[in-house]
Chain A
């Protein structure tokens, strides 16, 4: 149980285009989903917290107009990187949390984004 998927697993896009990444909880309803970014050889940095049906809460320094988050249902959250630039190239990982298990977050497999 507690499986989280992400799609796509990797994507290459051109500078200036937008990319959408999906995060799905497959066998449970996620009260909250979190989006992280991880640069090579660095830690996971929380970008935003997303609750179903409400606006995402962004961490300090994260541009909400550039990283659009939509949490339309209890099993799906999407992250759209708008007007992507090479410096946005990173590993994006989502995690899901359910009030039924109020401690553990379940991580998706990550999406490798490369902007050329």
Chain B
């Protein structure tokens, strides 16, 4: 089955700097890759997603890139702000079962 690895597990950046989180997946049949932000005790919130037929997608300060050949995708946050501090999860969706397999999460701290 699908396996998703995520790095780093923790990331501290200064306010205004960029943050990059990387994920790799194992199943080449996966065709959808969402990124979630989760605050303590809350539901995951979709912040950006990318489909397998696209290499890059941007939404204001957030961007995601996908390399299908290498089976990895990355989240880029620019001009980070303290409110970006949270846990971020990547996921890969199996094209046959529609299941999401989540990465292990990255705890991002933006230092003011």
Show the binding face of A for B, using Cβ within 8 Å. 32, 34, 42-46, 49, 91, 93, 95, 97, 102-105, 107-110, 112
Contacts and interface: CB of A to CB of B under 8 A. Distances in A.
A109 B43 contact: yes
A93 B89 CA distance: 15
Interface residues of B, number: 21
Contacts of A102: 98
B104 interface: yes
Given A43-B105, A46-B101, 5 more contacts: A45-B102, A49-B97, A104-B49, A110-B41, A110-B43
A108 B43 contact: yes
Contacts of B102: 43-46
B98 to A, nearest CB: 6
Interface of B: 32, 34, 41-46, 49, 51, 89, 93, 97-105
Contacts of A91: 41
A112 B44 contact: no
Contact of B89 (A34, A43, A103, A108): A43
